[in-house]
Amino acid sequence: MGVNGWGTFGSQRHDLNELDRVLNLLARPAPLGSGVPRSVRSELRGLGLDLGRSAERKDLIERVWGLKRPLLRELGAPDDPLPPCA
């Protein structure tokens, strides 16, 4: 089991897909000053992230990437892979 209970989903690729999905939700355009939707907060809690009421999207994205990087390293993938269209 990993840090914060992470790694309970079974496979590293599944964990990586879950992190990517949550990152996509966090990175969606939103009006300035709008908070993180409850559904996304619930997803983040499911990943073992402790959220404060004032958590900003930027900070949450950094924290999710903090979970994603070790998985990428274990799978032998680069930290910041180029998108397919690059």
Distances (CA, A) of 6 to 1, 17, 26, 70, 84: 6, 13, 19, 11, 28
For 26-77, the pLDDT digits (tens) are 988 888 777 888 888 888 988 888 887 767 888 899 999 999 999 888 887 6
Q: What pLDDT is recorded for position 34? A: 79
Predicted local confidence at residue 77, as pLDDT: 61
- pLDDT band of residue 24 (cuts 50, 70, 90) is very high
pLDDT on residue 78: 59
Cα separation values, 72 from 15, 23, 34, 63, 83, Å: 10, 15, 31, 15, 15
Give dist(CA 46, CA 6) in Å, integer: 9
| Predicted pLDDT at 54 | 63
